[in-house]
Structure 1
Amino acid sequence: MQLSKVNLEKKGSVNIKKSGKVTARLEWESSKDLDLYCFYVTKNNELGKIYYRNLGSPQKSPFIQLDGDSKGKGQETITIHRTEELKYVLFAAYSAISNGIGSFYSMKARAVVDNHQGQQVVSSLYEKNNYAYWVAIAHIDFTSASEMKVSHVEQYSKRFTEKSPLLYADGSFKMNVGKAEFKGFS
């Protein structure tokens, strides 16, 4: 199997082979705690998110699972077990208020999508934004039978806004319109 790695340019996209299983890693090089969110739309137009309060399951819809909350430097991984059940996913990262100011860019945050067929797509961040708690990093369109389109989206929340992004049934998304959630609070 030949490994192919694509580094997406700003707002770039690439089609790669659609596979039954896909992983997406949020990687960063800072001691600060980032959280990976996977917003999804199923084939039945069910909308939701997988994150530290809803880790998901490989056995039930939407067949997406987060490996846990790292609570520090490193990475978090989302595994999509049945891509044929999905239309769209949006990967976003949240940086807690307790991290203080600082940019996702300075933490070298990036999303790495792997189709387990020898193809990886890296979506790095190019903008420095010291005041955003949220960044949408990558979007995947699963609507084609044989390919999936991975796109670099890099959009930030408004200054000091805790409201999450929101993915819509048509695959579009907006920042600053979802629920605000604080770690440690219900």
Structure 2
Amino acid sequence: MSRTLINRLSHARRPLLALAIVAAALGTAHAGYNVWTGEYTFTKDELQSAVDKRFPATLRYGELVSVRLSNPRLVLDEAGNRITTRVDAALSNTVIPSPPVNGSLALNSGVRYDATRRAVLLDNPTVQDVEVQGMSQYREQLNAIGAVVAQQLLKDYPLYTFKPEELRFNGKDVEPGAITVAPDGIRVQVNLR
């Protein structure tokens, strides 16, 4: 290769190198923000960590039933653009002492952005499934308990709250837009205001 051609190639790479350095600096300044796609991304592990903070929890229904919920496990539903939270449940009769009845609940939620709170929230949680050993005859009552659990525990629960500086780029305010659930996390599109 001629020296002139080598010099030209070297000069051509400088703008690319500068662009890569700027992109790296922006990427580290705003964790989870992808400058190429204009999206914040949150991994399944980050989402799981946020939901873990809500559990264990114990809820009482009237004076009869106590439900202890633990061990949340997230399932990301790309096709439905929803998040399912499976939790272990232990139901106890608070009037008559007896061992708890064990089972699980699956609570299905949408995801939305709340501008006032600057947060990505679980939205409109519903009961997807209730499994309790030996109590299939009480499915209707268990679903009613599951519906209350969904509303009390996960309605408007924040998965992530943006810091003010994360919603400002190059002197311009940005606002989260469409939220997409993927198998490995969620993506939040960023729009200029």
TM-score normalized with structure 2 length: 0.24
The structure with the largest alpha-carbon Rg is 2
Going by fraction, where is helix more abundant, 1 or 2? Answer: 2
TM-score normalized with structure 1 length: 0.25
**Higher RCO (CA 8 Å, separation ≥ 6 residues):** 1
